[in-house]
Chain A
């Protein structure tokens, strides 16, 4: 038995037939052709499938497609559509990522952080990224990019 759901993905409307136990990650990758959310663990541990659902980051491997009916989904492709953000530019400049497999999730997690805390502390950045595993970088080059672009280098949180 299939359900028909309606999703808005990066501004485009999609009407899709999904199985009741099909997760949003598979719906996005297989039925919408959005490939930036990656399959890393399929149990919510690694964060490489992170997307924004109605403005909040979620692990798309833990959200059913039917749960997302009517939702607005933003992925890294959506963020990149209108040109890179200042944070993405800083991450390129500082070579923040190595293999890049975790990057779609981490860019979204830090993007969300900056929406709520434009000048985060180092601890706030660490907290925001703590659900996204990266095996290459030791995280510091990612944290540094966020702090550098927000001008809050290592110090206290500055009010916006």
Chain B
């Protein structure tokens, strides 16, 4: 190993397996049947009987205001209303990384749509009608909507209590300001780096907010029973993290982890929007007010847009220097993030960006400042790409422009500077093995880079763009995974884990890991959805880390089960354990070719011996994984000294884009994306991530956009006005490319790919527009309107 470190876990044992039967194959999803038949059960599909109550949220109409009074009497008088609760009933803060939120606003509201109270009633209609009768008096303040205004010297702090908020030790809030976290990363000598450069390019890139738009809206059902157990059914990526946040927030009510159970059935898409805790805290709290009855809170599509996490906007000032021969000498990147009214999760996005905002480039001198700024817009949070989708728009646009100023082909410029194994990362640790050069080459080939294309239609121009991406999982250093595994009488297997099958194919991939170790086909393996009472710990299903982390845990559980199988056979038949192996659901022996024993004959029943007694019993296994080399401890002024990221996944994307010079309308003729999966456990599923992630990314650059009015009210909280792609908006052709440079500590060499497929979509479009029609758009989205207007301006200048 170039890093010289030893790896935790048992990846080396499975990585030693060569002839693979199930890993690396296009195994059909093990949950496919549930989904095409309608059998899959989502939270809102569960029946809770006639006792079920419904809570409707009373929302702030102001972006920033002081609450001077709340009168709930009219709502309480409505027949069918059981209870009305307000912030005064739950004076508890919560948050994943920083506790800066109350369950309901207390004293002050900070965004339009913020929950101020809730009406709990027998049916949703009554709750909705009564919620309109809750009278809230406000003293209206001026909302702060732009992060650059919020960091001005005379800006009023949106959170006067910032200095007192509990937070993780790697956040650095500035009390008395709107800066809730400031991640600084410095290496080398930035001034010297720019002095060595022959060309220095500086510009600002702007990225607005975006919405996840999982088709299933957030929903929670919660019940505090008369034995004081709080059970929650949530549409979530993070059952254990939720339980922990609930236990922290509700500790004043005497609830601890032991008394809280989170059950997460099928979930209808996440993309980061269902990570951590957002609206679920409302369910947890209101259930404590109506003990003995379940309460449902189901968000409407509108609420989904304005009161769950939004992807944060960013204003990014970028300065990059390079020598005449194309070597990058220095990168200075200052990002002001529009993190919204509460940053309890979004600040970690800002942190991740601050560690990696050079992009995948060898950078001897660098200075990154990533500032998390409170504004009076909805809370920002994680969204597929976790900061990288946001800042890579600027980085990759800039690299192409810098190459062009140097007179170097932009792809060649990337080949020269692409980070390689062993190169120092921005925080000083060495880069992991990476197939970045192969990804560049194969993507360039897929879009015929360097070959000019023209359209027969005189109103159309064709341009190309190619950009790189990278991303590391952003996790606490002790983020861990665990797995239990049990055999059934027919030789089938149940795996319990608490990673979440969000659609990415996690369950199928976990089954493939166990299948490979135990020689049991994946379709005889069930991977059960999380229930924190029964399934073992998982930090969260975020960060594209579960294939790697939970995969290691499942592999370890399967290895343990295999060891137990061999021991039973040894005890009953006397064969040396080292001579036994598994094949086709049977135990076989190197030294006795005649011997074979079907797993189903003994994995529960045990093996009967000559005297009628039995050996063995039910075979179970367990496995855990924690990246014991990671550390968040580093110098706050430089970011040096820690090991915050476990590894980076890299790749490249390219497009061939047709632009209509009269209307600005664009058509993606071809999109290619190469991602280094380490090992594609299921190539079809990796291709599925490429196809889906690319389209999601292309939509953010071509048309999606959140628009707010001057009071901070979201103007387009519906699919009518916030357009997401339909089946008619897909590129003409997508070329998925899988690169496999093994990750040494990954199960079978695997690392995550889920988020990465979205990251490069925005800059490739901006580059292709510039290539096609000669205008450079530096703010997302790059809409047809923006291109058409830029073309008009361009023509005027000529």
* Stretch with Cβ within 8 A of B (4 or more), from A1-9, A52-60, A65-73, A90-98: A90-98
Instruction: Decide: B688 and A99 in contact? CB cutoff 8 A.
Output: no
Instruction: Decide: A99 and B47 in contact? CB cutoff 8 A.
Output: no
A136-B692, A138-B730 known; A39+B724 contact, CB < 8 A: no
Q: How far is the CA of A91 from the CA of B502 in the complex (A)?
A: 18
Find chain A residues with CB under 8 A from B691 CB.
137-138, 140-141
Q: Which residue of B lies closest to A105 (CB)?
A: B215
Instruction: Decide: B730 and A140 in contact? CB cutoff 8 A.
Output: yes
Give chain A nearest CB distance to B64 CB in angstroms: 29
Instruction: Decide: A126 and B727 in contact? CB cutoff 8 A.
Output: yes
Give chain B nearest CB distance to A147 CB in angstroms: 13
Instruction: Decide: B37 and A97 in contact? CB cutoff 8 A.
Output: no
Find chain B residues with CB under 8 A from A92 CB.
28-29, 32-33, 36
Among B28, B688, B718, B724: residue with most chain A CB under 10 A: B688
Q: How far is the CA of A101 from the CA of B34 in the complex (A)?
A: 11
Find chain A residues with CB under 8 A from B695 CB.
138-139
Among A76, A130, A140: residue with most chain B CB under 10 A: A140
Question: A10-53 vs B: 1/0 string, CB under 8 Å?
Answer: 00000000000000000001000101101111110110100000
Find chain B residues with CB under 8 A from A88 CB.
36-37
Instruction: Decide: A42 and B41 in contact? CB cutoff 8 A.
Output: no
Find chain B residues with CB under 8 A from A41 CB.
301, 718-719
Interface residues on B, range: 35 or more
- Interface of chain B residues 262 through 301 with chain A (CB within 8 A): 266-271, 298, 300-301
Q: How far is the CA of A140 from the CA of B688 in the complex (A)?
A: 9
Instruction: Decide: B688 and A43 in contact? CB cutoff 8 A.
Output: no
- Interface of chain B residues 190 through 234 with chain A (CB within 8 A): 212-217
A38-B268, A40-B301, A42-B300 known; A135+B28 contact, CB < 8 A: no
Which of these, B32, B38, B47, B504, contacts A75 with CB under 8 Å? B38
Instruction: Decide: A99 and B269 in contact? CB cutoff 8 A.
Output: yes
A149 interface residue per 8 A CB criterion: no
Instruction: Decide: B36 and A46 in contact? CB cutoff 8 A.
Output: no
Give chain A nearest CB distance to B340 CB in angstroms: 22
A151 interface residue per 8 A CB criterion: no
Among A43, A131, A142: residue with most chain B CB under 10 A: A43
A40-B217, A41-B719, A98-B505 known; A137+B40 contact, CB < 8 A: no
Instruction: Decide: A80 and B37 in contact? CB cutoff 8 A.
Output: yes
Instruction: Decide: B503 and A136 in contact? CB cutoff 8 A.
Output: yes
Question: A116-145 vs B: 1/0 string, CB under 8 Å?
Answer: 000000000111011111111111111100
Find chain B residues with CB under 8 A from A48 CB.
215
Find chain A residues with CB under 8 A from B268 CB.
38, 99-101
Which of these, A45, A103, A125, A135, contacts B720 with CB under 8 Å? A45
Instruction: Decide: B692 and A137 in contact? CB cutoff 8 A.
Output: yes
B42 interface residue per 8 A CB criterion: yes
- Interface of chain B residues 683 through 726 with chain A (CB within 8 A): 684-685, 688, 691-696, 718-720, 724-726
Give chain A nearest CB distance to B764 CB in angstroms: 16
Give chain B nearest CB distance to A45 CB in angstroms: 4
Instruction: Decide: A140 and B734 in contact? CB cutoff 8 A.
Output: yes
A156 interface residue per 8 A CB criterion: no
B538 interface residue per 8 A CB criterion: no
Give chain A nearest CB distance to B123 CB in angstroms: 10
Q: How far is the CA of A43 from the CA of B39 in the complex (A)?
A: 25
Find chain A residues with CB under 8 A from B45 CB.
29, 35
B122 interface residue per 8 A CB criterion: no
Q: Which residue of A lies closest to B721 (CB)?
A: A45
Which of these, B38, B41, B301, B692, contacts A98 with CB under 8 Å? B692
Q: How far is the CA of A76 from the CA of B40 in the complex (A)?
A: 12
Q: Which residue of A lies closest to B44 (CB)?
A: A39
A76-B37, A100-B268, A135-B696 known; A46+B215 contact, CB < 8 A: yes
Give chain B nearest CB distance to A85 CB in angstroms: 9
B31 interface residue per 8 A CB criterion: yes
A139-B695, A141-B688 known; A100+B728 contact, CB < 8 A: no
Give chain A nearest CB distance to B505 CB in angstroms: 7
Instruction: Decide: A84 and B36 in contact? CB cutoff 8 A.
Output: yes
Instruction: Decide: A133 and B696 in contact? CB cutoff 8 A.
Output: no
Among B34, B271, B692, B696: residue with most chain A CB under 10 A: B692
A92-B36, A130-B726, A136-B692 known; A43+B734 contact, CB < 8 A: no
B573 interface residue per 8 A CB criterion: no
Find chain A residues with CB under 8 A from B174 CB.
none
Among B505, B693, B724, B727: residue with most chain A CB under 10 A: B727
Instruction: Decide: A130 and B718 in contact? CB cutoff 8 A.
Output: no
Instruction: Decide: B684 and A95 in contact? CB cutoff 8 A.
Output: yes
Instruction: Decide: A97 and B35 in contact? CB cutoff 8 A.
Output: yes
Find chain A residues with CB under 8 A from B39 CB.
80
Find chain A residues with CB under 8 A from B33 CB.
84, 92
Find chain B residues with CB under 8 A from A107 CB.
36
Instruction: Decide: A98 and B503 in contact? CB cutoff 8 A.
Output: yes
Instruction: Decide: B696 and A100 in contact? CB cutoff 8 A.
Output: no
Find chain B residues with CB under 8 A from A33 CB.
47
Instruction: Decide: B718 and A126 in contact? CB cutoff 8 A.
Output: no
Give chain B nearest CB distance to A76 CB in angstroms: 4
Instruction: Decide: A100 and B35 in contact? CB cutoff 8 A.
Output: yes
Find chain B residues with CB under 8 A from A93 CB.
28, 32
Give chain B nearest CB distance to A87 CB in angstroms: 9
Instruction: Decide: B728 and A130 in contact? CB cutoff 8 A.
Output: yes
Instruction: Decide: A43 and B301 in contact? CB cutoff 8 A.
Output: yes
Give chain A nearest CB distance to B603 CB in angstroms: 27
Known: A134-B215, A138-B692. 19 other contacts (CB 8 A): A29-B45, A38-B42, A46-B215, A46-B301, A88-B36, A91-B36, A93-B28, A95-B684, A95-B685, A99-B216, A101-B268, A103-B38, A129-B727, A133-B213, A133-B724, A135-B212, A137-B691, A138-B694, A139-B725
**A-B pairs, 6 with minimum CB distance:** A98-B503, A101-B268, A100-B35, A99-B503, A36-B38, A45-B719
Return 19 A-B CB contacts under 8 Å, by A number. Answer: A41-B301, A43-B719, A45-B720, A75-B38, A80-B37, A92-B29, A97-B29, A97-B35, A98-B502, A99-B502, A102-B215, A103-B36, A129-B726, A132-B727, A133-B215, A137-B692, A138-B696, A140-B691, A142-B727
A-binding residues in B (CB < 8 A): 28-29, 31-42, 44-45, 47, 212-217, 266-271, 298, 300-301, 502-505, 508, 684-685, 688, 691-696, 718-720, 724-728, 730, 734
